[in-house]
Structure 1
Amino acid sequence: MGADHPRYKWVALTNTTLGILLATINSSIVLISLPGIFTGIRLDPLQPANVSYLLWMLMGYMLVTAVLVVALGRLGDMWGRVRIYNAGFLIFTLTSVILSLDPFQGAGGALWLIGWRIAQAVGGAMLMANSAAILTDAFPARQRGMALGVNMVAGIAGSFVGLVLGGALVTWNWRSVFWVNVPIGIIGTVWAYKSLHETGVRTPGRMDWWGNLTFAVGLTALLAGITYGIQPYGGHTMGWTNPWVLAGLIGGAAVLALFCVIETKVAEPMFPLRLFRDAAFAGGNLAALLGSIARGGLQFMLIIWLQGIWLPLHGYDYADTPLWAGIYMLPLTVGFLVAGPVSGYLSDKYGARLFAAAGFVVMAASFAGLLALPTDFGYGLFALLVFLNGLGGGLFAAPNTSIIMSSVPAEARGAASGMRATFQNAGMVLSMGVFFSLMVAGLSGSLPGTLTSGLTAQGVPAGAAHTVAGLPPVGVLFAAFLGYNPIQHLLGGSILGGLPPENAAHLTGREFFPHLISQPFHDGLVVVFSLAIAMSLAAAAASLIRRP
């Protein structure tokens, strides 16, 4: 089918939607599968020495896509968007096979997964950077919002579908988390090479190597610094005083400032800063960044809330919590899927800004509702609130993409698509550093006293209880995030063996740990969701910005 065939645009839409769905599912499927993956490679994620593996398993994929997506969008402008997109599908599929064949255990197994996930992220970035540009080329302006809406909502919903899929697959075999990509990837790759054609404006030119280098180094240093800042350092609950973290934050910001200077001097910049002179483009990208941070924070907090507290309190074994956490978050995905395409269609008719702003207002209202819930909530109201959050995200996604992509000239669509994806992916990485830091700060005030009193009430010697309570809160937070009960791990067999059997059983049972952390967790949640409300409202205001 040729590019001028009336049905070609629908072929482009279905293939790019499949590609984006695959890339974004992969960014979250590992998130909820981590307990099973670490068990499979026989590595204890709660050992302090293994926390770095945990962080890089979580953040490596998103960090690399955030760093590379602009450069790969620029390559699409120069060499052909379809060519780069098709290569991304191929790389993504091949690395999925390699990941599923991890031959090592322990640290070696973790490094294999981290390294090949980074390689897979190159393929994912190729898909993300060029899909919106391919659609913008293929669809007329009157249908563009709908097409971009379907594509964008598939991308955002994919991050939540991955939670359900990962929870289901990891209970069967941890390698299936990677196998699942292979048949879909093969079909998508063959289909893309056979059916997609170049329809956009090719812009021959040279790569901005200095811009690419300073952007990659600066953004990597900044995001890695934020990621490592949540780890304890030198007796502090977090690592913001760690010289390496400070070097990453300050040095990364300085290199990014140098990058901005370079981009104003070179003839063919990778990140055309002139595009930000358009108020609609600048406002749309600011809204995308703030929305991504708020959405990422919601993901992390809901996983901790469900896996670490709510599900064990309702009789679920810790081993089963990843699957059920994914299932209980389904209303979030449904909200996205309901609102996204409808919002794209209506925004084509009535304008994008109002829908984008309304979506963020709905998200802010849902965060306020979640803030008012007790930690041990009734599921019906929780489901309604997360559905509303998904609905708000779906309302916003398509109009925001349409605002950004329609505000740039045709020859800059690849770069603009990459810039939009950079803000979105960087927001996800930032969300982990920002919201985990806020949660740890919230826990630091009330958790030590709660731990001490809870443990001593069960007969744990005061010295041992004080030692456990003095441990950094990030360990307890990761335990809840992974669906672990860390009490046995923290106290050890010698202390538990000296307690009455019924006390030891209660300490290591399903209810003690969730009851223990529920109030400190809620204290942290107040801080986290208050910031998410502020970000959502600021994003709503940014969405209303238009050209003077």
Structure 2
Amino acid sequence: MRYDRDHPHYRWIVLTNTTLGVLLSVLVVMFGRLGDLFGRVRIYNLGFSVFAVSAVALSIDPFHGGSGALWIIVWRVVQGIGGAMLMANSSAILTDAFPARQRGTALGINMVAAVWSYRSLHEVGVRTAGRVDWAGTLTFGLGVTALLTGITYGIQPYGGHPTGWLSPWVLGAVLAGVLLLVAFCVVEATVPDPMFQLTLFRDRVFGLGNFADLMAAIGRGGLQFMLIICLQGIWLPLHGYDYESTPLWAGIYLLPLTVGFLAAGPLAGWLSDRYGPRTFTTGGAVLTGLTFLALLLIPVDFNYWVFALVVLLNGIGSGLFVSPNTATIMSSVPAAQRGAASGMRGTLFNGGNALSLGIFFSLMVVGLAATLPAALNDGLQAQGVSAGAAGEVASLPPVASLFAAFLGFNPIRELLGPTGELDRPGVNAEVLTGQEFFPNLITGPFHTGLVMVFVTAAVMMFLAAVASWFGGDDYVRDEAEELRAVAAP
């Protein structure tokens, strides 16, 4: 991976990792509404087929370089369409199928039942009459796409700046996205069959539940990327792992995060069915926020077991929050609008994740840009690199180093190699490309960026906790009466 200012290769990484998120954010409301109109199970099963085919295609990329990247992006688009069909209708199907006091449990174990659901699901919800709201679909889709694309490209350097937030293209995309979403609200307030009933947000439980979900998605979304870069760029090399092997080991060392989430999710759903969701959504958000602050208290070259305990608690906090929050949102809406409501929840969740990546990477890059260039310039010259080459490498955007580490490349070799300095007499190439030079160099600047990132994430989680607390426990509608009204001629 050689960095090129005019065509940075990490742009492909950004695109392949955000395409799915953007599509999920854009399409879930539309597919949720289609599920309300034509059957949720039908749309869900179609989505399962599309998602499965695209997953197979992604595993057999026959090309290399730019062509291989385009193959991945195209199939990620297809996968995003299938994923949107699944996400838009899964929560609505479970809400239809289970009584109110069992939904937390059902939603908590939802993640392990995909294949069974494809073979066994039958339609139990009531379809509603109406037409597809194409004006709302178009303004919403274009608005979310423009907004999230602009935010994603905000991490790309522009001119002499480390980020792209001063780029007219980025600012124009964000502004256009906001204006289109305002137009979407106007359309939804005037058309006879809107894609989404905006009046649902007037309901305290639905509105605060979705706000909490959005804040939690922003808080948690960029966490794993930050921790992976910390492991791959600093901790694993310092502990003897080759850069090429760090992507695998970073995933292994982050398993406590996944274990905590998977263990807490079903249990929190089951308990929330019996004791109400507020304690678990609020407590889970607070616990997750506290673990973000705890990550700042341990050194970058940490004791692994302390780190594992903190990320385990982070996963538990996230698991405590998610399934009770989903049950609260889905049980607060009329039965006839569950598909669209599930889609809106999915949009806020996936949009929050995409926002999180853009926001957190921008904060990290700003933090690194304040101190990394000087540290890199001095460190390179101390090992014999000429002042000109050291200054050239130090002036490269910090995001180049981050993505080199993320992809399992030796950052110094990738940044300094094109200059020819590693082969020049008097340059200590062995030290420069060794396991300790780059991690020791970036530790201080990286921690400065982590402070900005994790404090912001903690604030997001505490806002989610406040919204969850005021959302309350009284969220179950009289759905039997609603269903009779919908089914009545």
TM-score of the pair, normalised by structure 1: 0.83
Among candidates 68, 75, 88, match of residue 129 of structure 1: 88
Read off the aligned partner of 2:76 and give its amino acid letter: R
**Equivalent runs, 1:126-205 vs 2, <5 Å:** 126-151=85-110, 154=111, 188=115, 192=117, 194-205=119-130
C-alpha contact (below 8 Å) 2:247/2:406 kept by paired residues: no
Kindly indicate whether the alpha-carbon contact (under 8 Å) linking 2:3 and 2:415 is maintained by their aligned counterparts in 1. no
For 1:435 and 1:260, the matched residues in 2 are separated by: 28
Cα deviation 1:104-163 (Å, max 9, x = unaligned):
222111111101111111011111111111111111112111111222xx38xxxxxxxx
Matches within 5 A, 1:465-480: 465-480=390-405
Name the residue aligned to 1:237.
162
Aligned to 2:36: 77
Distance 1:98 1:148 in 2: 29
Q: For residues 432-511 of structure 1, what are the structure 2 equivalents within 5 Å?
A: 432-492=357-417, 494-500=420-426, 503-511=428-436
Count of paired positions: 470
Equivalents in 2 of 1:386, 1:225: separation in Å?
Answer: 31
**Match in the other structure for 1:3:** none
Residue pair 1:149, 1:401 contacting (<8 A) in 2 also:
no
1:267 counterpart residue number: 192
Task: Tell me, yes or no, if structure 1 residue 400 matches structure 2 residue 400.
Answer: no
Q: How does 1:306-321 map to 2 (within 5 A)?
A: 306-321=231-246
One-letter code aligned to 1:69? V
Taking the aligned partners of 2:68 and 2:117, their CA distance within structure 1 comes to: 32
Partner of 1:19: none
Amino acid at match of 1:448: P
| Whole-angstrom distance in 2 between the partners of 1:55 and 1:546 | 36
RMSD: 1.6
Q: Which runs of 5+ in 1 are unaligned?
A: 1-43, 156-183
Q: Tell me the SS of whatever aligns to 2:193.
A: coil
- Unaligned ranges ≥5, structure 2: 475-489
State the Cα deviation string for residues 322-363 of structure 1 (Å, max 9, x = none): 111011001111111221111111111111112100001101
| Residue correspondence of structure 1 range 39-58 to structure 2 within 5 A | 44=1, 46-48=3-5, 49=7, 50-58=9-17
Note the C-alpha offset of 1:46. 4.1
- 2:70 counterpart letter in structure 1: L
CA shift digits 1:466-488 (9 cap, x unpaired): 11111111111222322322212
Kindly, what percent of the aligned residue pairs are identical? 60
Name which of structure 1's ranges 469-478 and 421-430 shifts more when overlaid on structure 2. Answer: 469-478
User: Equivalent of 2:149, from 220, 224, 227?
Assistant: 224
> Does 263-272 or 474-483 show the bigger shift?
474-483
Paired residue type of 1:259: F
- Structure-2 residue corresponding to 1:282: 207
* Per-residue deviation, residues 274-331 of structure 1 (Å, max 9, x unmatched): 1101011011111111111111121111011011110011001111111110110011
The residue that corresponds to 1:391 in the other structure is 316
Kindly indicate whether the alpha-carbon contact (under 8 Å) linking 1:319 and 1:483 is maintained by their aligned counterparts in 2: yes
Distance 1:272 1:125 in 2: 19
- The one-letter code sitting in structure 2 at the alignment partner of 1:475 is A
1:65 equivalent in alignment to 2:24: yes
Aligned to 1:329: 254
Q: Distance in 2 between matches of 1:492 and 1:97?
A: 36
Pick closer, same or farther for the CA change 1:409–1:528 going to 2, 3 Å: same
2: CA distance, partners of 1:46 / 1:60: 22
Task: Tell me if structure 2 keeps the 8 A contact 1:62–1:428.
Answer: yes
Shift in Å, 1:98: 2.7
Structure 1 contact 451–465 (Cα < 8 Å) conserved = yes
Shift of 1:45: 6.7
Deviations 1:242-293 (A, max 9, x none): 1111110111101111111111111111121011010110111111111111
Residues in 1 aligned to 2:45 and 2:385: alpha-carbon distance in whole angstroms: 60
SS of the counterpart of 1:545?
helix
Aligned to 2:487: none
